[in-house]
């Protein structure tokens, strides 16, 4: 009988391990960004890399997002495979030109001849009192623009497998990791931020959603923290109300896995979309549109959406908790839907 203890890793260790494995495998892979060296990334996603690979391959850069993202683009055009870290996704404002006009468009504008095999990883999400400029996910802002893949893994297993896929991908990939799922000691530690992660290198596709929980009564689509909250709500719905919710973890925002969403709606006939991003023009609207275009006749109730209202995220703890959807609100919303 197998009794070996399964190795447990936090989200950030899983990411760092993925990068280390790829750096070992391919000498063209290198890391650059702010505080990615001795500090190990402020959310720990590059921890230990500088000790193993040295400052030649783990570059602490000037505080100059346009420069290091532009430099990653140039290095990728020259044949390297850079992994650049934008410390907070909120900082995209100072460097978006390099991201969406260059990283996303150079492959196209070169007639497909210039490949940019680079990863732009960035920390997203709130829920820990970091205020309006350090708490956003901005999922839809990136997923809206053609030319890049945009992924947001929800578990340590997927963080590792999708990071390896992202590094090996010849297209630029925006890799969003959620701060709360990194397993950081200075945040509230969540069960969801640790799990068994195999030691070897493995890949998880960048275009496939995952059914995180099977159910027959209602489909809840979410990503990262919203997926975990949906799981909590689903357990309660099952226990207290006998409602079986199916939870779809999107994992990838662009491309979006429509088939998995439509298949689940056909099974449950009800759809709730939950998002830690602003409500208007967001991922919830995209998933609702998919339902309207491809599964309208299957729906027994109107599609419902839960997201952050169109207001900057408050610093105040009670207010922040009030705007970000949580398990309680998801539970209530599903109950309302089941009545209709």
Partner 1 sequence: MASKKSKQFDPVGTLQEIEKKFEMFQVLNEEGEIVNEEADPKLSDEELQELMRRMVYTRILDQRSISLNRQGRLGFYAPTAGQEASQIASHFALQKEDFILPGYRDVPQLIWHGWPLHQAFLFSRGHFKGNQMAEGLNVLPPQIIIGAQYVQTAGVALGLQKRGKEAVAVTYTGDGGSSQGDFYEGINFAGSFRSPAIFFVQNNQYAISTPRELQTSAETIAQKAVAAGIPGILVDGMDPLAVFAATRDARKRAVAGEGPTLIETLCYRYGPHTMAGDDPTRYRTSETDSEWEKKDPLVRFRKYLEAKDLWSEEKENEVIEQAKEEIKAAIKEADNTPKQKVTDLMEIMYNEMPQNLQEQYEIYKEKESK
CA distance 67 to 217: 50
Q: Is 59 in the site for partner 1 (CB under 8 A)?
A: yes
Strand partners, 177: 123
Cis peptide before 122 (omega within 30 of 0): no
Kindly indicate which of the ranges 103-111, 126-134, 181-189, 209-217 contains the residues binding partner 1, using the contact rule CB under 8 A: 103-111
Q: Total residues contacting partner 1 (rule CB under 8 A)?
A: 50
Residues 9-48 that bind partner 1 (CB under 8 A): 28, 30
Strands, E, within the chain: which ranges?
8-10, 29-33, 58-60, 81-88, 119-124, 149-151, 173-178, 194-196, 210-213, 218-222, 245-249, 252-254, 271-278, 304-308
Residue 100 or 157: which CB sits closer to partner 1?
100
Q: 6-39 burial by CB neighbour count: b if 16+ within 10 A, else e?
A: eeebbbbbbbbbbbbbbbeeeebbbbbbbbbbee
- Pattern 60-79, binding to partner 1, x per CB under 8 A? -xx-x-xxxxxxxxxxxxxx
Could you report how far apart the first and last alpha carbons of the chain are, in Å?
50
Nearer to partner 1, 146 or 242 (CB): 146
- Verify binding: residue 107, partner 1, rule CB under 8 A: yes
d(CA 250, CA 133): 25
Q: 73 or 295: whose CB is closer to partner 1?
A: 73
Q: What SS3 state is found at 252?
A: strand
The reply to whether 242 sits near partner 1 by the rule CB under 8 A is: no
Length of the chain measured in residues: 340
Binding mask 176-205 for partner 1 (x = CB under 8 A): ------------------------------
- Does 259 help bind partner 1 (rule: CB under 8 A)? yes
Name which of 28 and 129 has its Cβ closer to partner 1. 28
The piece of 111-119, 175-183, 185-193, 211-219 that touches partner 1 (CB under 8 A) is 111-119
Question: Shortest distance, CB of residue 48 to partner 1, whole angstroms?
Answer: 21
Separation between Cα atoms, residue 106 and residue 270, nearest integer Å: 41
Nearest distance in Å: CB 84, partner 1:
10
If the CB atoms of residues 142 and 331 are measured against partner 1, the closer one turns out to be 142
DSSP reduced 3-state for 81: strand
Of 8, 114, 289, 311, the residue at the interface with partner 1 (CB under 8 A) is 114
- Smallest distance from partner 1 to CB 122, Å: 18
Q: DSSP assignment of 96-144, as one string?
A: HIIIIIIITTHHHHTTT-S----EEEEEE--SSS--TTSS---HHHHHT
Q: Which of 134, 178, 196, 228 is catalytic?
A: 134
- Interface residue with partner 1 among 1, 112, 188, 239 (CB under 8 A) is 112
Q: Is 303 in the site for partner 1 (CB under 8 A)?
A: no
Single out the segment in contact with partner 1 by CB under 8 A; choices: 58-66, 174-182, 307-315, 316-324: 58-66
Query: How far is it, in rounded angstroms, from Cα 62 to Cα 81?
Result: 20
CA distance 123 to 101: 21
Q: How far is the CB of 80 from partner 1 (least distance, A)?
A: 5
Q: Is 228 a catalytic residue?
A: no
Q: Which stretches of the chain bind partner 1, using CB under 8 A?
A: 28, 30, 56, 59, 61-62, 64, 66-80, 82, 97-98, 101-102, 106-115, 146-147, 149, 169-171, 207, 254-259
Q: Would you please indicate which residues are annotated as catalytic (active-site) residues?
A: 134
């Amino acid at each position: 009988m197998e009794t070996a203890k399964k190795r447990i890793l936090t989200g950030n260790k899983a990411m760092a391990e993925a990068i280390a494995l790829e750096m070992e495998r391919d000498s063209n892979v290198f890391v650059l960004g702010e505080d990615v060296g001795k500090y190990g990334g402020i959310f720990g996603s590059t921890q230990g890399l500088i000790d193993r690979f040295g400052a030649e391959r783990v570059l602490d850069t000037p505080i100059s997002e346009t420069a290091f993202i532009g430099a990653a683009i140039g290095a990728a055009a020259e044949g390297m495979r850079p992994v650049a870290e934008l410390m907070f996704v909120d900082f995209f404002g100072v460097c978006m030109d390099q991201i969406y006009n260059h990283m996303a468009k150079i492959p196209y504008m070169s007639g497909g001849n210039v490949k940019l095999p680079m990863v732009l990883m960035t920390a997203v999400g709130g829920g820990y009192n970091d205020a309006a400029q350090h708490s956003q996910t901005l999922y839809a802002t990136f997923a809206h623009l053609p030319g890049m893949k945009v992924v947001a893994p929800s578990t340590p297993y997927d963080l590792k497998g999708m990071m390896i896929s992202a590094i090996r991908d010849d297209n630029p990939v925006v890799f969003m990791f959620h701060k709360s799922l990194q397993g950081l000691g200075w945040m509230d530690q969540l069960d969801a931020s640790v799990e068994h992660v195999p030691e070897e290198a493995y890949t998880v596709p960048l275009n496939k959603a995952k059914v995180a929980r099977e159910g027959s009564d209602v489909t809840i689509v979410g990503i990262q923290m919203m997926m975990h909250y949906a799981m909590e709500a689903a357990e309660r719905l099952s226990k207290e109300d006998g409602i079986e919710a199916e939870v779809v973890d999107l994992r990838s925002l662009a491309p979006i896995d429509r088939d998995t969403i439509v298949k689940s709606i056909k099974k449950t006939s009800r759809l709730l979309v939950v998002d830690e991003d602003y409500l208007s023009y967001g991922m919830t609207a995209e998933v609702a549109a998919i339902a309207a275009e491809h599964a309208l006749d299957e729906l027994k109730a109107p599609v419902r959406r839960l997201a952050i209202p169109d207001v900057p995220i408050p610093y105040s703890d009670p207010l922040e908790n009030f705007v970000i959807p949580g398990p309680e609100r998801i539970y209530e919303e599903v109950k309302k839907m089941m009545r209709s």
